[in-house]
Amino acid sequence: MPEKTALITGITGQDGSYLTELLLGKGYAVHGIVRRTSNLLRSRIEHLRRDPAIYDKNLFLHYGDLSDTTTLRRIFREIKPTEVYHLAGQSHVGLSFEMPESTCDEAGMAALRLLEIARDQTNPLKFYHASTSEIFGNALESPQTEETSMRPTSPYGCAKAFATMLSRVYRQSYGMFVCNGILYNHESPRRGENFVTRKIARAAARISQGLDVDLVLGNLDSKRDWGRAQDYVVAMWLMLQHDKPDDYVVATGETHSVREFVDAAFSFVDLDWKKYVKQDPAFDRPAEPARLAGDADKIRKTLGWKPSGGFEQLVREMVQAEVEALSKS
Ligand code: NAP
Ligand code: GDD
Protein backbone atom coordinates (compact mmCIF):
# COMPACT_ATOMS: atom_id res chain seq x y z
CA MET A 1 0.00 0.00 0.00
CA PRO A 2 1.29 3.54 -0.77
CA GLU A 3 2.46 5.40 2.34
CA LYS A 4 0.77 8.66 1.41
CA THR A 5 -2.99 8.91 1.07
CA ALA A 6 -4.46 12.07 -0.43
CA LEU A 7 -8.09 13.12 -0.30
CA ILE A 8 -9.15 15.65 -2.94
CA THR A 9 -12.42 17.56 -2.87
CA GLY A 10 -13.16 18.87 -6.36
CA ILE A 11 -11.25 16.05 -8.10
CA THR A 12 -13.37 16.43 -11.24
CA GLY A 13 -12.44 20.10 -11.67
CA GLN A 14 -9.55 21.63 -13.61
CA ASP A 15 -7.12 21.65 -10.68
CA GLY A 16 -8.35 18.39 -9.15
CA SER A 17 -7.65 16.49 -12.36
CA TYR A 18 -4.07 17.81 -12.75
CA LEU A 19 -3.36 17.33 -9.05
CA THR A 20 -4.56 13.72 -9.28
CA GLU A 21 -2.15 13.03 -12.13
CA LEU A 22 0.70 14.65 -10.19
CA LEU A 23 0.04 12.66 -7.00
CA LEU A 24 -0.47 9.34 -8.81
CA GLY A 25 2.90 9.94 -10.47
CA LYS A 26 4.43 10.37 -7.01
CA GLY A 27 3.04 7.05 -5.78
CA TYR A 28 0.16 8.33 -3.68
CA ALA A 29 -3.14 6.57 -3.13
CA VAL A 30 -5.59 9.24 -4.32
CA HIS A 31 -9.17 9.44 -3.10
CA GLY A 32 -11.59 11.91 -4.64
CA ILE A 33 -15.03 13.10 -3.65
CA VAL A 34 -17.51 13.23 -6.53
CA ARG A 35 -21.04 14.54 -6.61
CA ARG A 36 -23.96 12.49 -7.80
CA THR A 37 -24.85 13.85 -11.24
CA SER A 38 -27.30 12.68 -13.88
CA ASN A 39 -24.37 12.03 -16.22
CA LEU A 40 -21.68 9.56 -15.20
CA LEU A 41 -19.10 11.03 -17.57
CA ARG A 42 -16.47 13.01 -15.66
CA SER A 43 -14.53 14.26 -18.63
CA ARG A 44 -11.37 15.57 -16.91
CA ILE A 45 -10.63 12.32 -15.06
CA GLU A 46 -12.30 9.85 -17.44
CA HIS A 47 -8.91 8.71 -18.84
CA LEU A 48 -7.80 7.74 -15.31
CA ARG A 49 -11.11 6.10 -14.43
CA ARG A 50 -10.93 3.94 -17.56
CA ASP A 51 -7.38 2.78 -16.81
CA PRO A 52 -7.62 -0.61 -15.04
CA ALA A 53 -4.05 -0.23 -13.77
CA ILE A 54 -5.09 2.92 -11.89
CA TYR A 55 -8.80 2.93 -11.06
CA ASP A 56 -9.62 1.10 -7.83
CA LYS A 57 -5.89 0.36 -7.45
CA ASN A 58 -4.43 3.81 -6.63
CA LEU A 59 -7.39 6.03 -7.49
CA PHE A 60 -10.68 5.76 -5.62
CA LEU A 61 -13.84 7.84 -5.98
CA HIS A 62 -16.38 8.40 -3.22
CA TYR A 63 -19.80 9.96 -3.55
CA GLY A 64 -20.19 13.02 -1.36
CA ASP A 65 -21.16 16.67 -1.30
CA LEU A 66 -19.76 19.66 0.55
CA SER A 67 -23.13 20.12 2.26
CA ASP A 68 -23.22 16.52 3.53
CA THR A 69 -21.07 16.54 6.67
CA THR A 70 -21.98 13.00 7.76
CA THR A 71 -20.68 11.53 4.54
CA LEU A 72 -17.53 13.68 4.57
CA ARG A 73 -16.79 12.55 8.11
CA ARG A 74 -17.31 8.89 7.15
CA ILE A 75 -14.92 9.24 4.20
CA PHE A 76 -12.22 10.70 6.46
CA ARG A 77 -12.72 7.88 8.95
CA GLU A 78 -12.51 5.18 6.30
CA ILE A 79 -9.51 6.38 4.32
CA LYS A 80 -7.48 8.20 7.00
CA PRO A 81 -5.92 10.74 4.61
CA THR A 82 -2.42 12.04 5.29
CA GLU A 83 -2.98 15.02 2.97
CA VAL A 84 -6.28 16.77 2.23
CA TYR A 85 -6.60 19.12 -0.74
CA HIS A 86 -9.82 21.09 -0.44
CA LEU A 87 -10.54 22.40 -3.94
CA ALA A 88 -14.30 21.93 -4.37
CA GLY A 89 -16.96 24.59 -4.72
CA GLN A 90 -18.69 26.95 -7.11
CA SER A 91 -15.70 28.83 -8.53
CA HIS A 92 -17.21 31.33 -11.00
CA VAL A 93 -16.93 34.87 -9.63
CA GLY A 94 -19.65 36.33 -11.89
CA LEU A 95 -22.12 33.58 -11.03
CA SER A 96 -21.51 34.16 -7.32
CA PHE A 97 -23.60 37.33 -7.70
CA GLU A 98 -26.44 35.20 -9.08
CA MET A 99 -26.12 32.38 -6.52
CA PRO A 100 -24.59 34.07 -3.46
CA GLU A 101 -26.00 31.73 -0.83
CA SER A 102 -24.89 28.41 -2.30
CA THR A 103 -21.57 29.94 -3.40
CA CYS A 104 -20.84 31.20 0.13
CA ASP A 105 -21.83 27.87 1.62
CA GLU A 106 -19.47 25.99 -0.71
CA ALA A 107 -16.58 28.50 -0.80
CA GLY A 108 -16.85 29.47 2.88
CA MET A 109 -18.77 27.21 5.24
CA ALA A 110 -17.58 23.97 3.64
CA ALA A 111 -14.00 24.81 4.66
CA LEU A 112 -15.18 25.13 8.25
CA ARG A 113 -16.89 21.72 8.08
CA LEU A 114 -13.77 20.08 6.70
CA LEU A 115 -11.44 21.81 9.17
CA GLU A 116 -13.64 20.59 12.03
CA ILE A 117 -13.54 17.04 10.70
CA ALA A 118 -9.76 17.32 10.25
CA ARG A 119 -9.41 18.60 13.82
CA ASP A 120 -11.09 15.43 15.11
CA GLN A 121 -8.75 13.03 13.30
CA THR A 122 -6.35 11.05 15.44
CA ASN A 123 -3.84 10.46 12.62
CA PRO A 124 -1.73 13.51 11.66
CA LEU A 125 -2.87 15.17 8.46
CA LYS A 126 -1.94 18.16 6.34
CA PHE A 127 -4.67 20.38 4.91
CA TYR A 128 -4.53 22.57 1.79
CA HIS A 129 -7.17 25.28 1.35
CA ALA A 130 -7.75 26.70 -2.15
CA SER A 131 -7.68 30.41 -1.47
CA THR A 132 -7.60 32.99 -4.24
CA SER A 133 -6.42 36.40 -5.38
CA GLU A 134 -10.11 37.42 -5.30
CA ILE A 135 -9.73 37.93 -1.53
CA PHE A 136 -7.67 41.06 -2.35
CA GLY A 137 -10.42 42.52 -4.54
CA ASN A 138 -9.78 46.23 -4.95
CA ALA A 139 -6.31 45.83 -3.50
CA LEU A 140 -4.59 48.77 -1.88
CA GLU A 141 -1.20 47.71 -3.25
CA SER A 142 0.27 46.05 -6.31
CA PRO A 143 1.61 43.45 -6.58
CA GLN A 144 -0.16 41.72 -3.69
CA THR A 145 1.65 39.60 -1.11
CA GLU A 146 0.56 37.29 1.73
CA GLU A 147 0.36 40.44 3.92
CA THR A 148 -1.90 42.50 1.64
CA SER A 149 -5.22 43.28 3.30
CA MET A 150 -8.37 41.59 2.07
CA ARG A 151 -10.90 43.79 0.24
CA PRO A 152 -13.07 41.34 -1.72
CA THR A 153 -15.57 42.64 -4.26
CA SER A 154 -17.85 39.60 -4.78
CA PRO A 155 -19.78 37.06 -2.71
CA TYR A 156 -17.22 34.48 -3.88
CA GLY A 157 -14.32 36.67 -2.71
CA CYS A 158 -15.99 37.28 0.66
CA ALA A 159 -16.55 33.58 1.26
CA LYS A 160 -12.96 32.74 0.30
CA ALA A 161 -11.69 35.52 2.60
CA PHE A 162 -13.70 33.95 5.44
CA ALA A 163 -12.30 30.48 4.71
CA THR A 164 -8.75 31.87 4.41
CA MET A 165 -8.95 33.59 7.79
CA LEU A 166 -10.52 30.50 9.32
CA SER A 167 -7.71 28.31 7.99
CA ARG A 168 -5.21 30.64 9.69
CA VAL A 169 -7.20 30.48 12.94
CA TYR A 170 -7.19 26.66 12.92
CA ARG A 171 -3.45 26.65 12.26
CA GLN A 172 -2.72 29.14 15.04
CA SER A 173 -5.26 27.94 17.61
CA TYR A 174 -4.98 24.17 17.27
CA GLY A 175 -1.49 23.81 15.82
CA MET A 176 -2.95 22.12 12.75
CA PHE A 177 -0.95 21.81 9.52
CA VAL A 178 -3.15 24.06 7.36
CA CYS A 179 -1.93 26.04 4.32
CA ASN A 180 -3.68 28.67 2.23
CA GLY A 181 -2.60 28.69 -1.38
CA ILE A 182 -3.51 32.21 -2.53
CA LEU A 183 -3.64 31.35 -6.20
CA TYR A 184 -4.02 33.81 -9.06
CA ASN A 185 -5.91 32.82 -12.22
CA HIS A 186 -4.55 29.65 -13.74
CA GLU A 187 -5.76 28.20 -16.97
CA SER A 188 -5.43 25.19 -19.25
CA PRO A 189 -7.28 23.32 -21.97
CA ARG A 190 -9.27 21.78 -19.06
CA ARG A 191 -10.57 25.17 -17.88
CA GLY A 192 -14.38 25.39 -17.58
CA GLU A 193 -15.96 26.72 -20.77
CA ASN A 194 -17.51 29.80 -19.12
CA PHE A 195 -14.21 31.24 -17.88
CA VAL A 196 -12.88 33.91 -20.16
CA THR A 197 -9.66 32.27 -21.40
CA ARG A 198 -11.34 29.02 -22.45
CA LYS A 199 -14.26 30.90 -23.94
CA ILE A 200 -11.84 32.96 -26.06
CA ALA A 201 -9.64 30.00 -27.07
CA ARG A 202 -12.67 27.94 -28.08
CA ALA A 203 -14.23 30.78 -30.06
CA ALA A 204 -10.99 31.58 -31.89
CA ALA A 205 -10.69 27.95 -33.01
CA ARG A 206 -14.36 27.63 -33.99
CA ILE A 207 -14.50 30.93 -35.88
CA SER A 208 -11.34 30.00 -37.77
CA GLN A 209 -13.10 26.84 -38.97
CA GLY A 210 -16.35 28.60 -39.85
CA LEU A 211 -18.27 26.97 -36.99
CA ASP A 212 -19.08 30.24 -35.18
CA VAL A 213 -19.41 33.78 -36.44
CA ASP A 214 -18.67 35.89 -33.38
CA LEU A 215 -17.61 35.98 -29.74
CA VAL A 216 -19.55 37.99 -27.16
CA LEU A 217 -17.61 39.12 -24.10
CA GLY A 218 -17.93 41.50 -21.16
CA ASN A 219 -15.14 43.69 -19.79
CA LEU A 220 -12.10 43.69 -22.11
CA ASP A 221 -10.08 46.10 -19.96
CA SER A 222 -9.89 43.85 -16.94
CA LYS A 223 -6.34 42.69 -16.14
CA ARG A 224 -5.41 39.35 -14.64
CA ASP A 225 -2.25 37.46 -13.69
CA TRP A 226 -2.70 34.29 -15.76
CA GLY A 227 -0.56 31.19 -15.21
CA ARG A 228 -0.67 27.50 -16.20
CA ALA A 229 -2.80 25.20 -14.01
CA GLN A 230 -0.27 22.37 -14.36
CA ASP A 231 2.33 24.52 -12.54
CA TYR A 232 -0.06 25.66 -9.84
CA VAL A 233 -0.94 22.15 -8.63
CA VAL A 234 2.79 21.59 -8.06
CA ALA A 235 2.72 24.63 -5.74
CA MET A 236 -0.16 23.06 -3.77
CA TRP A 237 1.80 19.85 -3.27
CA LEU A 238 5.01 21.68 -2.31
CA MET A 239 3.17 23.58 0.45
CA LEU A 240 2.19 20.32 2.14
CA GLN A 241 5.73 18.88 1.87
CA HIS A 242 7.35 21.75 3.79
CA ASP A 243 8.12 21.28 7.50
CA LYS A 244 5.99 24.29 8.52
CA PRO A 245 2.46 25.20 7.44
CA ASP A 246 2.05 28.69 5.97
CA ASP A 247 0.24 30.81 3.38
CA TYR A 248 1.70 31.47 -0.07
CA VAL A 249 0.83 33.69 -3.01
CA VAL A 250 1.12 31.71 -6.27
CA ALA A 251 1.32 33.93 -9.36
CA THR A 252 3.42 34.81 -12.40
CA GLY A 253 3.77 38.50 -11.49
CA GLU A 254 2.79 39.43 -15.08
CA THR A 255 -0.59 40.91 -15.94
CA HIS A 256 -2.45 41.07 -19.22
CA SER A 257 -5.83 42.43 -20.19
CA VAL A 258 -8.68 40.34 -21.55
CA ARG A 259 -8.19 42.31 -24.80
CA GLU A 260 -4.56 41.14 -24.99
CA PHE A 261 -5.67 37.54 -24.48
CA VAL A 262 -8.20 37.92 -27.29
CA ASP A 263 -5.61 39.49 -29.58
CA ALA A 264 -3.07 36.71 -28.93
CA ALA A 265 -5.64 33.91 -29.37
CA PHE A 266 -7.06 35.25 -32.65
CA SER A 267 -3.58 35.99 -33.99
CA PHE A 268 -2.72 32.34 -33.44
CA VAL A 269 -5.41 31.36 -35.99
CA ASP A 270 -4.57 34.33 -38.26
CA LEU A 271 -7.73 36.30 -37.58
CA ASP A 272 -8.28 39.97 -36.77
CA TRP A 273 -10.24 39.79 -33.52
CA LYS A 274 -11.85 43.21 -34.07
CA LYS A 275 -14.00 41.71 -36.83
CA TYR A 276 -15.51 39.07 -34.57
CA VAL A 277 -15.58 40.20 -30.93
CA LYS A 278 -18.65 41.97 -29.57
CA GLN A 279 -19.25 43.37 -26.12
CA ASP A 280 -22.39 42.80 -24.09
CA PRO A 281 -22.81 44.41 -20.67
CA ALA A 282 -24.76 41.28 -19.66
CA PHE A 283 -21.34 39.71 -18.98
CA ASP A 284 -20.23 42.59 -16.75
CA ARG A 285 -20.19 42.03 -12.99
CA PRO A 286 -21.70 44.46 -10.48
CA ALA A 287 -18.16 44.98 -9.18
CA GLU A 288 -14.77 43.37 -9.75
CA PRO A 289 -11.04 43.94 -9.29
CA ALA A 290 -9.74 46.01 -12.24
CA ARG A 291 -6.29 44.46 -12.03
CA LEU A 292 -4.74 41.63 -10.01
CA ALA A 293 -0.99 40.96 -9.89
CA GLY A 294 0.71 38.65 -7.43
CA ASP A 295 4.16 38.69 -5.85
CA ALA A 296 5.27 35.05 -5.57
CA ASP A 297 8.60 35.87 -3.94
CA LYS A 298 7.87 33.90 -0.76
CA ILE A 299 7.02 30.59 -2.45
CA ARG A 300 9.94 31.01 -4.83
CA LYS A 301 12.41 31.52 -1.99
CA THR A 302 10.92 29.08 0.54
CA LEU A 303 9.73 26.20 -1.64
CA GLY A 304 11.66 26.79 -4.86
CA TRP A 305 8.50 27.09 -6.96
CA LYS A 306 8.41 29.07 -10.16
CA PRO A 307 6.02 29.19 -13.11
CA SER A 308 7.02 27.55 -16.37
CA GLY A 309 6.25 29.17 -19.70
CA GLY A 310 4.73 32.57 -20.22
CA PHE A 311 1.55 34.23 -21.40
CA GLU A 312 2.14 33.51 -25.10
CA GLN A 313 2.73 29.83 -24.38
CA LEU A 314 -0.44 29.57 -22.32
CA VAL A 315 -2.55 31.15 -25.08
CA ARG A 316 -0.92 28.94 -27.70
CA GLU A 317 -1.52 25.76 -25.68
CA MET A 318 -5.15 26.61 -25.13
CA VAL A 319 -5.98 27.55 -28.74
CA GLN A 320 -3.94 24.62 -30.09
CA ALA A 321 -5.90 22.21 -27.89
CA GLU A 322 -9.20 23.60 -29.23
CA VAL A 323 -8.03 23.32 -32.83
CA GLU A 324 -6.94 19.71 -32.24
CA ALA A 325 -10.20 18.82 -30.51
CA LEU A 326 -12.14 20.15 -33.50
CA SER A 327 -10.03 18.23 -35.98
CA LYS A 328 -10.64 15.00 -34.00
CA SER A 329 -14.38 15.54 -33.92
P1 NAP B 1 -13.52 24.03 -11.05
O2 NAP B 1 -12.92 23.53 -12.32
O3 NAP B 1 -14.73 24.90 -11.11
O4 NAP B 1 -13.85 22.74 -10.14
C5 NAP B 1 -14.67 22.82 -9.02
C6 NAP B 1 -14.81 21.43 -8.42
O7 NAP B 1 -15.64 21.51 -7.26
C8 NAP B 1 -15.48 20.41 -9.35
O9 NAP B 1 -14.86 19.15 -9.14
C10 NAP B 1 -16.90 20.39 -8.84
O11 NAP B 1 -17.59 19.19 -9.10
C12 NAP B 1 -16.66 20.50 -7.33
N13 NAP B 1 -17.82 20.94 -6.57
C14 NAP B 1 -18.52 22.08 -6.72
N15 NAP B 1 -19.51 22.14 -5.81
C16 NAP B 1 -19.42 21.02 -5.06
C17 NAP B 1 -20.18 20.49 -3.97
N18 NAP B 1 -21.23 21.14 -3.48
N19 NAP B 1 -19.80 19.30 -3.43
C20 NAP B 1 -18.73 18.63 -3.95
N21 NAP B 1 -18.01 19.06 -4.99
C22 NAP B 1 -18.35 20.25 -5.54
O23 NAP B 1 -12.44 24.84 -10.19
P24 NAP B 1 -10.84 24.88 -10.34
O25 NAP B 1 -10.48 25.91 -11.35
O26 NAP B 1 -10.32 23.50 -10.47
O27 NAP B 1 -10.42 25.51 -8.93
C28 NAP B 1 -10.22 24.69 -7.78
C29 NAP B 1 -10.39 25.52 -6.53
O30 NAP B 1 -9.43 26.57 -6.53
C31 NAP B 1 -11.74 26.20 -6.38
O32 NAP B 1 -12.07 26.23 -5.01
C33 NAP B 1 -11.50 27.62 -6.88
O34 NAP B 1 -12.41 28.51 -6.26
C35 NAP B 1 -10.08 27.84 -6.42
N36 NAP B 1 -9.28 28.75 -7.24
C37 NAP B 1 -9.20 28.59 -8.58
C38 NAP B 1 -8.41 29.44 -9.33
C39 NAP B 1 -8.27 29.29 -10.81
O40 NAP B 1 -7.81 30.23 -11.46
N41 NAP B 1 -8.62 28.14 -11.38
C42 NAP B 1 -7.67 30.46 -8.68
C43 NAP B 1 -7.77 30.58 -7.30
C44 NAP B 1 -8.56 29.70 -6.58
P45 NAP B 1 -18.41 18.98 -10.51
O46 NAP B 1 -17.39 18.52 -11.52
O47 NAP B 1 -19.40 17.93 -10.14
O48 NAP B 1 -19.02 20.30 -10.87
N1 GDD C 1 -16.13 34.53 -17.39
C2 GDD C 1 -16.09 35.61 -18.21
N3 GDD C 1 -16.86 35.59 -19.33
N4 GDD C 1 -15.29 36.64 -17.90
C5 GDD C 1 -15.25 37.69 -18.75
C6 GDD C 1 -16.01 37.74 -19.91
C7 GDD C 1 -16.86 36.65 -20.24
O8 GDD C 1 -17.55 36.61 -21.23
N9 GDD C 1 -15.74 38.90 -20.55
C10 GDD C 1 -14.84 39.55 -19.82
N11 GDD C 1 -14.55 38.83 -18.71
C12 GDD C 1 -13.61 39.24 -17.65
C13 GDD C 1 -14.19 39.15 -16.24
O14 GDD C 1 -15.03 40.28 -15.98
C15 GDD C 1 -12.91 39.12 -15.42
O16 GDD C 1 -12.45 40.42 -15.22
C17 GDD C 1 -11.92 38.39 -16.33
O18 GDD C 1 -12.51 38.36 -17.63
C19 GDD C 1 -11.62 36.97 -15.87
O20 GDD C 1 -12.86 36.30 -15.66
P21 GDD C 1 -12.92 34.73 -15.35
O22 GDD C 1 -12.19 33.96 -16.40
O23 GDD C 1 -14.35 34.38 -15.12
O24 GDD C 1 -12.04 34.59 -14.03
P25 GDD C 1 -12.06 35.40 -12.65
O26 GDD C 1 -10.81 36.23 -12.61
O27 GDD C 1 -13.33 36.11 -12.45
O28 GDD C 1 -11.99 34.24 -11.57
C29 GDD C 1 -11.08 33.13 -11.72
O30 GDD C 1 -9.86 33.42 -11.07
C31 GDD C 1 -9.95 33.59 -9.64
C32 GDD C 1 -8.55 33.91 -9.13
O33 GDD C 1 -8.25 35.24 -9.38
C34 GDD C 1 -11.77 31.90 -11.13
O35 GDD C 1 -11.02 30.76 -11.41
C36 GDD C 1 -11.89 32.01 -9.60
O37 GDD C 1 -12.36 30.77 -9.07
C38 GDD C 1 -10.50 32.32 -9.03
O39 GDD C 1 -10.59 32.44 -7.63
Radius of gyration of the chain measured on its C-alpha atoms:
20
Answer yes or no: is the C-beta of 191 below 6 A from any ligand 2 atom.
Answer: no
Answer yes or no: is the C-beta of 249 below 6 A from any ligand 1 atom.
Answer: no
Residue 153 catalytic?
no
Q: Say what the pLDDT of residue 16 is.
A: 98
Q: Give the number of residues written for the chain.
A: 329
Answer yes or no: is the C-beta of 94 below 6 A from any ligand 2 atom.
Answer: yes
d(CA 143, CA 131): 17
pLDDT tens digits, one per residue of 135-168: 999 999 999 999 999 999 999 999 999 999 999 9
pLDDT tens digits, one per residue of 182-225: 999 999 999 999 999 999 999 999 999 999 999 999 999 999 99
Mean pLDDT rounded to a whole number for the chain: 97
pLDDT tens digits, one per residue of 75-91: 999 999 999 999 999 99
Q: Say what the pLDDT of residue 1 is.
A: 57
What are the domain boundaries of the chain? 5-188+227-254+293-308, 196-222+256-289+314-328
Is residue 86 within 8 A of residue 128, CB to CB? The reply is: yes
Is residue 226 within 8 A of residue 256, CB to CB? The reply is: yes
Residue 134 catalytic?
yes
Provide the 10 A C-beta neighbour count for residue 254: 14
* This model's pTM is above 0.75: yes
d(CA 67, CA 278): 39
pLDDT bucket at 2, cuts 50 / 70 / 90: low
Whether residue 12 has pLDDT greater than 80: yes
pLDDT bucket at 329, cuts 50 / 70 / 90: confident
Percent of the chain at pLDDT exceeding 70: 99
Whether residue 3 has pLDDT greater than 60: yes
Q: Which atom of ligand 2 is nearest to the CA of 225?
A: 33
CA 91–ligand 2 middle distance (angstroms):
10
Exposed e or buried b per residue across 204-213, where buried means at least 16 C-beta atoms within 10 angstroms of its C-beta: bbbbbeeeee
What's the rounded mean pLDDT across residues 227-254? 98
Q: Which CATH class is domain 5-188+227-254+293-308?
A: alpha beta
What's the rounded mean pLDDT across residues 163-181? 98
Residue 260 catalytic?
no
Answer yes or no: is the C-beta of 310 below 6 A from any ligand 2 atom.
Answer: no
Q: Say what the pLDDT of residue 208 is.
A: 98
Q: Which ligand has the shortest distance to the CA of 88?
A: 1
Determine which helix (DSSP H) or strand (DSSP E) holds 232, and give its type and residue range: helix 229-241
- Superfamily name with CATH number, domain 196-222+256-289+314-328: UDP-galactose 4-epimerase, domain 1 (3.90.25.10)
